[in-house]
């Protein structure tokens, strides 16, 4: 069975670690990146089926990465789910204009529900 | 209020200065002593102006300190949410991975971690809510709502929790046909939820009956939540809405509690144009009631809750 590929872009390394571990256990092929620039490079190289994308990150933030991703012929259609914090409200609105499947406030979610959301998009 | 009072002596001295000027002019006429009086009054007014300027600066600094404190609480709370999420997700994964493999004791340990995480998360959410309310960043977006339906909805949402605590909540919907009221439903429901939660959590162990009532009172609608619980001791009555305050008997009855619930409830009621008060068995004066327990009352203006164009919602 071909594994679904997921790219997780998140600068909080503990969160990145636990998400990567979980999706690995759920039989995903997991790619990780700790900021938008690394995320963009990884996305264009490994062509994941879905991207979980944090918004506020050093070097390159999630919104900038999303805009650049959408300019690419492959990247324009890849489903993206935003990983957000409460303080990101204005950024979420901006990101939504660039074709985002959905967003979730990390602290309000159980990890199994995050997985369920990803799987429901990939069905 | 106290900041305004500090300016009062300055205003009084200015008035006195003015009075002296006219009296001086009247008594001395246009002679040379007039020059001394005028010089004295001018000097006095310069001193007073300096004092006023210093007071204004001090008030501005106090406001700035208050804002900085608020920013600090908001910042720390946000910073705590990420590690708490990591703890929560790891516990969840550990539970999934180890189902049926753990002893009862080990399951208790895990459960304890989960409960503590939940408690800190709730505290962080409360602190963020208070920071949003105090700084006026809270968004109040009233829409026409059926106020009686909103009360019933809230009571229903809490009935399972009440049952688990051997408690019953009654709300007899009055037979009134009311026009829609402008409510921010989430905030309105939060007020009732907080009051109901307290009524249940501070009940007496042998019985618990909570009664919700609704009254049409001239320019306001008044909602009351009456319990037959442990009551509020006389020495706690003046401080019951204060930030972080918990009455002695409340701490004994329920060790879990932040002392933020009633403070937040009052902030929500007042920022949206209403009033909140209570009466209790052990209270005195207008805080006394014959029957056991405590009754909290709050009002919502008939013209609706006040709108506030803030950017942040309430975390629940």
**Which own/partner pairs from B89-92 qualify as long-range (CB within 8 Å, at least 24 positions apart)?**
B89/A15, B89/A18, B89/A19, B89/A22, B89/A110, B89/A111, B90/A18, B91/B117, B92/A110, B92/A111, B92/A112
Facing B93 at nearest CB: one of A87, A107, A111 = A111
CB-based contact B93 A106, cutoff 8 Å: no
Say whether pLDDT at A48 is over 60: yes
Residues 6+ apart with CB under 8 A from A76: A69, A70, A99
Facing B92 at nearest CB: one of A15, A90, A110 = A110
The rounded distance, in Å, linking the Cα atoms of B227 and B91 is 37
A18 confidence band (pLDDT: 50, 70, 90) = very high
Once rounded to an integer, what is the mean pLDDT over residues B156-180?
90
Instruction: Return the bridge partners of A103, or none.
Output: A82
CB-based contact A18 B89, cutoff 8 Å: yes
Say whether pLDDT at B37 is over 50: yes
Å between A69 CA and nearest CA of chain B: 27
Once rounded to an integer, what is the mean pLDDT over residues B270-279?
94
**R_g of chain A, CA atoms, integer Å:** 13
The rounded distance, in Å, linking the Cα atoms of B150 and B173 is 11
Is the pLDDT higher at B193 or at B32? B193
The rounded distance, in Å, linking the Cα atoms of B7 and A119 is 64
Best mutation target among A85, A93, A111, A113 (most B Cβ atoms within 10 Å) is A111
Best mutation target among A10, A11, A14 (most B Cβ atoms within 10 Å) is A14
Nearest to B188 by CA among B311, B306, B287, B310: B306
Under 8 Å between Cβ of B282 and B231: yes
Q: Which two tokens stand for residue B181?
A: 């009221």
Decide: helix, strand or coil at residue B300: strand
CA atoms within 13 A on the CB side of A93: 4
List pLDDT tens digits, range B186-207.
Answer: 999 999 999 999 999 988 877 8
List pLDDT tens digits, range B283-308.
Answer: 877 888 888 899 999 999 999 999 88
Under 8 Å between Cβ of B257 and B263: no
Three-state SS annotation for chain B: CHHHHHHHHHHHHHHHHHHHHHHHHHHHCCCCHHHHHHHHHHHHHHHHHHHHHHHHHHHHHHHHHHHHHHHHHHHHHHHHHHHHHHHHHHHHHHHHHHCCCCCHHHHHHHHHHHHHHHHHHHHHHHHHHHHHHHCCCEEECCEEECHHHHHHHHHHHHHHHHHHCCCEEEECCCCCCCCCEEECHHHHHHHHHHHHHHHHHCCECCECEEEEEEEEECCEEEEEEECCCCCCCHHHHHHCCCCCCCCHHHHHHCCCCCCCHHHHHHHHHHHCCCCEEEEECCCCHHHECCCCCEEEEEEEECCCCCCEECCECCCC
Query: How many Cβ atoms from other residues are within 10 Å of residue B96's Cβ?
Result: 12
CB contacts, 8 Å: A12 with chain B = 82, 86
For B308, list phi and psi in degrees, rounded to 5: -135, 125
Decide: helix, strand or coil at residue B137: coil
CB-based contact A18 B83, cutoff 8 Å: no
Say whether pLDDT at B2 is over 50: no
Q: Does B206 touch chain A (CB under 8 A)?
A: no
A87 confidence band (pLDDT: 50, 70, 90) = low
Once rounded to an integer, what is the mean pLDDT over residues A19-26?
94
Say whether pLDDT at B38 is over 90: no
pLDDT for res B22? 58
Angle at A104 between CA B112 and CA B195, to 5 degrees: 55
Q: Does A106 touch chain B (CB under 8 A)?
A: yes
pLDDT for res B17? 61
CB contacts, 8 Å: B81 with chain A = 85-86, 106-107
The rounded distance, in Å, linking the Cα atoms of B301 and B311 is 23
Once rounded to an integer, what is the mean pLDDT over residues A21-42?
95
CB contacts, 8 Å: B127 with chain A = none
Residues 45-74 of A with CB under 8 A from B: none
Q: Which two tokens stand for residue B130?
A: 């208070």
Facing A86 at nearest CB: one of B78, B92, B96 = B78
Best mutation target among B76, B85, B120, B128 (most A Cβ atoms within 10 Å) is B85
Under 8 Å between Cβ of B54 and B42: no
Best mutation target among A18, A20, A56, A85 (most B Cβ atoms within 10 Å) is A18
Q: What proportion of chain A, given as a percentage, has pLDDT over 90?
A: 63
B43 confidence band (pLDDT: 50, 70, 90) = confident
Say whether pLDDT at B185 is over 90: yes
B1 confidence band (pLDDT: 50, 70, 90) = very low
Say whether pLDDT at B74 is over 90: no
CB contacts, 8 Å: B121 with chain A = 107
ipTM of the complex: 0.89
Say whether pLDDT at B313 is over 60: yes
B119 confidence band (pLDDT: 50, 70, 90) = confident
Is the pLDDT higher at B58 or at B222? B222
The rounded distance, in Å, linking the Cα atoms of B77 and B125 is 8
């Amino acid at each position: 069975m071909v594994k679904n590929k997921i790219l997780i872009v998140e600068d909080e390394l503990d969160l990145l670690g636990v998400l990567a571990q979980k999706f690995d256990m759920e039989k995903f092929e997991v790619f990780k990146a700790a900021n938008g620039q690394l995320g963009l490079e990884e996305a264009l190289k490994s062509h994941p089926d879905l991207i979980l994308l944090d918004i506020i990150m050093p070097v390159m933030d999630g919104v900038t990465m999303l805009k650049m991703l959408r300019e690419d012929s492959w990247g324009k259609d890849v489903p993206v789910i935003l990983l957000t914090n409460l303080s990101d409200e204005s950024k979420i609105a901006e990101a939504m204009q660039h074709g985002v499947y959905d967003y979730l406030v990390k602290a309000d979610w159980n990890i199994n529900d995050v997985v369920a959301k990803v799987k429901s998009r990939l069905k | 209020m106290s900041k305004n009072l500090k300016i009062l002596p300055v205003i009084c001295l200015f008035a006195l200065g003015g009075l002296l000027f006219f009296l001086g002019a009247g008594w001395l006429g246009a002679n040379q002593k007039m020059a001394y009086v005028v010089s004295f009054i001018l000097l006095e007014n310069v001193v007073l102006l300096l004092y006023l300027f210093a007071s204004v600066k001090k008030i501005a600094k106090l406001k700035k300190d208050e804002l900085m404190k608020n920013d600090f609480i908001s910042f720390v709370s946000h910073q705590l949410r990420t590690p708490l999420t990591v703890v929560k997700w790891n516990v969840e994964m550990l539970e999934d991975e180890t189902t049926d493999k753990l002893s009862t004791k080990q399951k208790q340990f895990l459960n304890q971690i989960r409960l503590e995480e939940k408690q800190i998360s709730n505290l962080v959410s409360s602190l963020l809510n208070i920071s949003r309310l105090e700084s006026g960043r809270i968004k109040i977006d009233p829409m026409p709502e059926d106020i009686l339906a909103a009360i019933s909805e809230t009571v229903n949402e809490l009935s399972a929790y009440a049952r688990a605590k051997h408690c019953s909540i009654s709300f007899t919907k009055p037979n009134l046909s009311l026009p829609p009221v402008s409510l921010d439903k989430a905030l309105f429901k939060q007020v009732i939820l907080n009051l109901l939660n307290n009524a249940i959590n501070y009940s007496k162990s042998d019985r618990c009956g909570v009664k919700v009532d609704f009254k049409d009172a001239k320019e306001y609608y008044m909602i009351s939540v009456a319990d037959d619980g442990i009551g509020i001791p006389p020495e706690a009555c003046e401080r019951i809405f204060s930030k972080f305050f918990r009455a002695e008997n409340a701490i004994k009855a329920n060790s879990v509690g932040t002392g933020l619930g009633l403070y937040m409830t009052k902030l929500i009621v007042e920022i949206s144009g209403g009033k909140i008060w209570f009466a209790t068995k052990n209270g005195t004066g207008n805080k006394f009631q014959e029957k056991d327990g405590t009754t909290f009352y709050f009002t919502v203006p008939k013209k609706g809750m006040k709108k506030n164009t803030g950017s942040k919602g309430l975390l629940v």
